[in-house]
């Protein structure tokens, strides 16, 4: 990598792009809606059940200039989802500014473990026990999505729900590999605690990216 390109990654004018693709949002509040996904490499949160572990090592993904990322995005949709990895490991200001200049609606999916950069129309916070969100992420969250892997995750979910703003939509989502064993627990929990909603990874049921 050239020194110039390294400097651009540092400033956020280039990012380690793992992949970008046009599909349906599969999870949470906007599920079923068309969106262009930009997956940024790099994550040190380390969830053992992560289904995109190949995103963790940023060095495996080519530094890509913001102009190139944006030119690909605007061909497909006016809704852009920035995901990872953990996108907030990087400066998101240049990317979101460039997308806003094209009148894009910009969503982020994040653990909230890093300082917020960039400007977001929708902020999906998915907290992880390994590396907890910063206080600002709770206040910014439009959507709280807690992954349910075992019974303790319900306790964790309630702790997290106490920290978000009142308008934040609350979701419980089964970890995909054990969805059949936790689904009944989730259904019972939501029936008893109707402030929560169930989120499913519908894109996996539909066999789309």
Q: Domain with 198 in it: what CATH number?
A: 3.20.20.70
Record the tokens describing residue 27, joined without a space.
Answer: 């999870």
CA atoms in the 13 A half-sphere facing the CB of 15: 31
- Give me the pLDDT at residue 6, please: 73
Which residues are CB-neighbours of 180 under 8 A, at least 6 positions away?
none
- How many domains does one find in the chain? 1
Full-model pTM: 0.94
- Residues in Cβ contact with 34 at an 8 Å cutoff, skipping those fewer than 6 apart: 22, 23, 24, 25, 77, 79
Write the pLDDT tens digit of every residue in 46-99: 888 888 999 999 989 999 999 999 999 999 989 999 999 999 999 999 999 999
- Are the C-beta atoms of 146 and 172 separated by less than 8 Å? yes
- Provide the domain limits for residue 21: 3-205
Give the helix/strand (H/E) hosting 19: strand 14-24
Residue-wise pLDDT for 154-167, tens only, equals: 999 999 999 999 99
In the chain, the percentage of residues whose pLDDT exceeds 70 is 98
Task: Report pLDDT digits (tens) over 18-61.
Answer: 999 999 999 999 999 999 999 999 999 988 888 899 999 998 99
User: Which of residues 4 and 34 earns the better pLDDT score?
Assistant: 34
């Amino acid at each position: 990598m050239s020194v110039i390109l390294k400097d651009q990654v540092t400033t956020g004018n280039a990012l380690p792009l793992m992949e970008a693709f046009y599909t349906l949002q599969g999870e949470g509040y906007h599920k079923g809606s068309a969106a262009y996904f930009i997956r940024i490499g790099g994550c040190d949160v380390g969830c053992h059940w992560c289904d995109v572990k190949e995103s963790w090592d940023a060095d495996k993904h080519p530094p890509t200039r913001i102009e190139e990322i944006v030119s690909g995005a605007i061909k497909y949709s006016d809704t852009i989802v920035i995901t990872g990895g953990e996108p907030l490991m990087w400066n998101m200001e240049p990317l979101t500014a460039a997308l806003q200049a094209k009148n894009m609606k910009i969503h982020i999916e994040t653990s909230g473990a890093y300082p917020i950069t960039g400007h977001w129309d929708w902020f999906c916070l998915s907290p992880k026990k390994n590396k907890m969100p910063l206080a600002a992420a709770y206040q910014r969250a439009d959507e709280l999505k807690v992954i349910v892997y075992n019974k303790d995750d319900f306790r964790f979910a309630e702790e997290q729900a106490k920290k978000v703003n009142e308008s934040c939509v609350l979701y419980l989502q089964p970890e995909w590999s054990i969805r059949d064993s936790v689904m009944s627990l989730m259904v019972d929990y939501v029936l008893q605690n109707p402030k929560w909603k169930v989120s499913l990874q519908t894109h996996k049921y539909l066999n789309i990216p």
